[in-house]
Amino acid sequence: MLARLLNGDRRALARLLTRIENQDTDAVAMLTALYAYTGRAHLIGVTGAPGTGKSTLVSALTRALRERGRTVALLAVDPSSPFTGGAVLGDRVRMRDLAGDSGVFIRSMASRGGLGGLARTTRDMARALDAAGFDFVLIETVGAGQSEIEIARLAQTVLVVEVPGLGDDVQAIKAGILEIADVLVVNKADRPGAENTVRALRTMLELGHAAARERLRADFTVEDRVENTVLSDWMPPIVQTVASEGRGIGAVIEALDAHRAYLRSNGHWEQIERRQLELELLHRLRDGLLERLLDQLSMGEIGAVIDQVQSRAIDPYTAVSRMLAETTMMIDQSHSER
Amino acid sequence: MLARLLNGDRRALARLLTRIENQDTDAVAMLTALYAYTGRAHLIGVTGAPGTGKSTLVSALTRALRERGRTVALLAVDPSSPFTGGAVLGDRVRMRDLAGDSGVFIRSMASRGGLGGLARTTRDMARALDAAGFDFVLIETVGAGQSEIEIARLAQTVLVVEVPGLGDDVQAIKAGILEIADVLVVNKADRPGAENTVRALRTMLELGHAAARERLRADFTVEDRVENTVLSDWMPPIVQTVASEGRGIGAVIEALDAHRAYLRSNGHWEQIERRQLELELLHRLRDGLLERLLDQLSMGEIGAVIDQVQSRAIDPYTAVSRMLAETTMMIDQSHSER
């Protein structure tokens, strides 16, 4: 199956993605085998509020990349709801004319509950698409919020889509997303107010850019332990498009290529990957250690502790300290050189 | 300080909240001491898209609760950006007339980076407010998305604010938030289309309610280990308000009280708390175990593993398995009965 995947077999790829999404146990074996073939694709997160024409832009971008001979995989992540399935599917219909092209691969994924699980599944799927040899992996997220920020951390380049003339309070929310933008697109730029929007975005970027980026990446839970990352002096370009007519798409591609060239020229590409891998390892270790502890404790024992906490006989902080104090951890690295 | 806090000293409370937000080490000692006094407040998450008048509603609700003699603490969580500080502050200005009232306490908090840290800080702050004796703790989140879902898990009741006549694609996003609503408010109900919005929301709720709630709460990372929760047969009431004129606020309070009475009547109140405590314990254990492992490994040793992963000499899945295999964990419960 790995050989077929590396040879461009799309059915093998689709099957693997399904296994990753379902968290099948054999997905890990496949991911283990294909990991050596990763690290070549340009991963691009595409995000923006609903109504910005994000999906139309992604379609136009995909078409334009294909015209330039580059292959594209699109992963559309919908972290919301069973209700929204229809809407996302509707957007995908616009991609139908790309369906016969083996240089394009499109996959929608629904969220499975928690954000941690979603980010992990998305990362593994992007990894499979990377190994399958696509030049670009576009990770399109619906909505605007913390989920976008988490998913943006999977990409090398984050493209944020805006439109002219959104109200002030929407503007405030959008600001959160500006912090993660490497390339800004003002879509529907034939609408009134496009120039004003560009100017406002430019001002916000210039005022808040450095401080915001530093802040965004400064503070986590596990992530406290990871060295602080890649303070970039890249100033996001703002590109105006009318995606429905294909206008400005060439300039978007140039901006993406320029960002990749920038990251590659100064070692940031490797630093970003390193930080992503470090976080992944720490998260996996953390989950693995808990798993190990839970295997040794019965759910009944944990239940007894929770009984005490719920009855206020003990507080959760002390309960956890006590459980940790009762746990001895030893690391034997004598075999680590095999 | 604990005595002063329990006696209603607002300055002591404010100081504790700052220590929690700054993750001062002595905050844990305080939280440990005050935990025994928690579990009495009604924690209400208030969320909704920007432009719904959420902050105006919260102000009106606070005022109306005060008129009924109930005390209110408001925790406004802004999980976005340094850019947005001004906007949130602006909303808070409307609360100014409540400033002299010792039965009201208002606190804005900025996010410190990651969602996990934010949720943890919010939980600890809500706990402090609960111990301080407020009848209601309103946790207001800005925006719409995964962060709201995480924060909703801290509350017993989630109030979602909508407005008439949002576009279809916004509607799709809003759906994600319907899943977590216990009480729905259609604010600005004097606008055209309010009845249509109520009808549409009713239909969406009826179609998707049971399935969606089940799905939302079904699947996590750590949370896989926690028993599945509280499947409720509560159908969220939809209340129309014009918050700027104080219209409909009484009905909102009735809906909140009805939800609390419902949860209390069938044991769901305790089940929700139990599940929240269980997740908290597992998260704290997980972080504590990782901390322990990292204390034993040097960052240099982890760096060497990451070097190998980044050079594709080893894949991240195998690297983690190997590190876990080298780790021995033993639990000594002989002292657990002290």
For residue A258, the model assigns a pLDDT of 97
Tell me which of B20-34, B111-125, B221-235 is least confident: B221-235
For residue A250, the model assigns a pLDDT of 98
User: How many Cβ contacts (< 8 angstroms) between chains A and B?
Assistant: 326
Tell if the CB–CB gap between B114 and A306 is shorter than 8 Å. Answer: no
Nearest to A94 by CA among A110, A74, A118, A79: A74
Residue A28 in domain: yes
Give the chain B residue nearest A226 (alpha carbons).
B299
The rounded percent of chain A whose pLDDT value lies above 90 is 46
Structure tokens at B144: 């719409």
Does residue A17 register a pLDDT over 90?
Answer: yes
Instruction: Please tell me if residue A69 touches chain B, with a CB cutoff of 8 Å.
Output: no
How many domains are there within chain A?
1
Instruction: Please tell me if residue A310 touches chain B, with a CB cutoff of 8 Å.
Output: yes
CATH label of the domain that carries residue A120: 3.40.50.300
For residue B218, the model assigns a pLDDT of 37
> pLDDT tens, B288-336?
999 899 888 877 888 999 999 999 999 999 999 999 999 888 888 665 5
Residue A140 in domain: yes
Nearest to A132 by CA among A97, A98, A96, A103: A103
Count the alpha carbons within 13 Å of A274 in the hemisphere toward its beta carbon: 18
What's the pTM? 0.80
Structure tokens at B271: 């089940």
For residue A49, the model assigns a pLDDT of 73
The rounded percent of chain B whose pLDDT value lies above 70 is 75
* Range 152-171 of A in CB contact (< 8 A) with B: 167-170
For residue A89, the model assigns a pLDDT of 45
Tell if the CB–CB gap between A80 and B173 is shorter than 8 Å. Answer: yes
Nearest-CA distance B172 → chain A (Å): 5
Q: Beta strand pairing status for B238-240 and B183-186? A: parallel
Bridge partners for A158 per DSSP: A45
Residue linked to tokens 């295999």: B325
Give the chain A residue nearest B221 (alpha carbons).
A117
Structure tokens at B207: 């179609």
Nearest to B157 by CA among B20, B21, B264: B264
Tell if the CB–CB gap between A35 and B179 is shorter than 8 Å. Answer: no
Residue B10 in domain: yes
- Average pLDDT, integer, range B90-98: 55
How many Å apart are CA A338 and CA B172, to the nearest integer?
Answer: 53
pLDDT, chain B, mean: 81
Residue A322 in domain: no
Tell if the CB–CB gap between A288 and B320 is shorter than 8 Å. Answer: yes
For residue B175, the model assigns a pLDDT of 55
**What sign does the dihedral A268-A274-A278-A280 (CA atoms) show?**
positive
For residue A211, the model assigns a pLDDT of 52
Residue among B28, B38, B222 minimizing CB distance to A290: B222
Q: How many residues does chain A have?
A: 338
Top residue of A174, A205, A207, A290 to mutate, by most chain B CBs within 10 Å, is A290
> pLDDT tens, B122-181?
999 999 999 999 999 999 886 555 566 677 778 999 998 888 876 544 454 455 567 778
Instruction: Please tell me if residue A48 touches chain B, with a CB cutoff of 8 Å.
Output: no
Q: How many CB atoms lie within 10 A of CB B291?
A: 15
For residue A168, the model assigns a pLDDT of 46
Residue A313 in domain: no
Nearest-CA distance A216 → chain B (Å): 5
> pLDDT tens, A78-129?
644 333 333 444 445 456 566 678 899 988 876 555 556 677 889 999 999 9
Q: How many CB atoms lie within 10 A of CB B25?
A: 8
Give the chain A residue nearest B326 (alpha carbons).
A332
- Average pLDDT, integer, range A248-265: 96
Please tell me whether residue B330 adopts helix, strand or coil conformation: strand
Nearest-CA distance B254 → chain A (Å): 28
**In the structure, what pLDDT confidence band is assigned to residue A4 with cuts at 50, 70 and 90?**
very high
How many Å apart are CA B144 and CA B166, to the nearest integer?
Answer: 14
Q: In A, which residues are within 8 Å of B309 by CB distance?
A: 277, 281
Tell me which of A252-266, B84-98, B183-197 is least confident: B84-98
Q: How many CB atoms lie within 10 A of CB B50?
A: 23
- Average pLDDT, integer, range A302-311: 94
Instruction: Please tell me if residue A306 touches chain B, with a CB cutoff of 8 Å.
Output: yes
> pLDDT tens, A189-243?
999 889 988 888 888 777 765 554 544 443 334 444 444 444 567 889 999 999 9
* Inter-residue contact B73 to B97 (CB < 8 Å): no
Q: Beta strand pairing status for A104-110 and A183-186? A: unpaired
* Inter-residue contact A154 to A45 (CB < 8 Å): yes
Does residue B67 register a pLDDT over 90?
Answer: yes
Where in the sequence is the domain holding B261, given as residue range(s)? 2-266
* Range 212-251 of B in CB contact (< 8 A) with A: 212, 215-223, 225
Residue B84 in domain: yes
Determine which helix (DSSP H) or strand (DSSP E) holds A142, and give its type and residue range. none
For residue B156, the model assigns a pLDDT of 93
* Cβ contacts of A13 within 8 Å, gap of 6 or more: A5, A105, A128, A129, A132
In chain B, what are the helix, strand and coil shares in percent, each to the nearest 5? 55, 15, 30
How many Å apart are CA A120 and CA A128, to the nearest integer?
Answer: 13
Instruction: Please tell me if residue A89 touches chain B, with a CB cutoff of 8 Å.
Output: no
> pLDDT tens, A148-180?
667 777 899 999 888 887 654 445 445 556 777
Instruction: Please tell me if residue B320 touches chain A, with a CB cutoff of 8 Å.
Output: yes
Residue A302 in domain: no
Tell me which of A30-44, B46-60, B215-229 is least confident: B215-229
Give the chain A residue nearest B226 (alpha carbons).
A299
Bridge partners for A72 per DSSP: A104, A136
Top residue of A2, A30, A83 to mutate, by most chain B CBs within 10 Å, is A83
